[in-house]
Chains A and B, each alone.
Chain A
Amino acid sequence: AIQLTQSPSSLSASVGDRVTISCRASQDISSALAWYQQKPGKPPKLLIHDVSGLGGGVPSRFSGSGSGADFTLTISSLQPEDFATYYCQQFRTYPFTFGGGTKVEIK
């Protein structure tokens, strides 16, 4: 199975900060990567599809980039509602797999 390694596993940031989260795949997954945001007690929400496409209703401060095996989620200016856990997911091959998550906390 393809392994996805996210870094960091957690970070503390302030409102207005630029935040970047990395997702590295154990092999080339081309552009088959999505990002999800999960808040406590809620299901994950699709944030970014196909590496860089914004999900429905997702603010433009979120962006995704990368290809091959290295991918990045960027929040350009962190807002209070962005404090959550973020997961990457590959759909290049079965079994679909997720990264371990990055928890974004308030500094």
Chain B
Amino acid sequence: QLQLQESGPGLVQPSETLPLTCTVSGGSITNSKYYWVWIRQPPGKGLEWIGSVYYSGSTYYNPSFMSRLTISVDTSKNQFSLKLKSVTAADTAVYFCASTGTYYDQFDPWGQGTLVTVSS
């Protein structure tokens, strides 16, 4: 059974880079069925798709983040990562990692989420 777990700093300074990692267990990140996904949810608000990565490294990004965003995969560690540059308070959110593969381009399962606060 596929499981995902986010990790990263809970607090990031404004203008700095937000780094997050998602560790995949119960399956291989190189499984060709899956895309690996980042989604966020500001406190009390709705869900926003950030971007997706395939095990080969090919990516799809939300244009809202395009210039600030890098999503990558580390097959040796069975992990994928997000880096969001030049963060502001508006980037404060719970960040979820998820996968698609159970059902095409639909998110299942999800990690538990990690709250990242951007503040000095």
A34 B46 Cβ-Cβ under 8 A: no
Interface, chain B (partner A; CB < 8 A): 46-49, 60-64, 96, 98, 102-108, 110-113
* Interface status of A82 (Cβ within 8 A of chain B): no
Task: Encode A17-53 as 1/0 by CB contact (under 8 A) with B.
Answer: 0000000000000001010100000111110011001
B-chain residues with CB within 8 Å of residue A66 when the two chains form the complex? none
* Contact among A42, A46, A94 for B107, CB-based, below 8 A: A46
Task: Encode A70-94 as 1/0 by CB contact (under 8 A) with B.
Answer: 0000000000000000010101001
Main secondary structure of the interface of B (DSSP, over half): strand
Count A-B pairs with CB separation below 8 Å: 65
* Contact among A96, A99, A100 for B49, CB-based, below 8 A: A96
Main secondary structure of the interface of A (DSSP, over half): loop
A-chain residues with CB within 8 Å of residue B106 when the two chains form the complex? 34, 46, 49-50, 89, 91
| Residue count of chain A within 8 Å CB distance of chain B | 25
Q: Given A32-B105, A34-B103, A95-B63, are A44 and B110 also a contact pair (CB < 8 Å)? A: yes
Bound together, the chains give a CA A36 to CA B111 distance in angstroms of 14
For A99, give the chain B residue with the smallest CB separation. Answer: B46
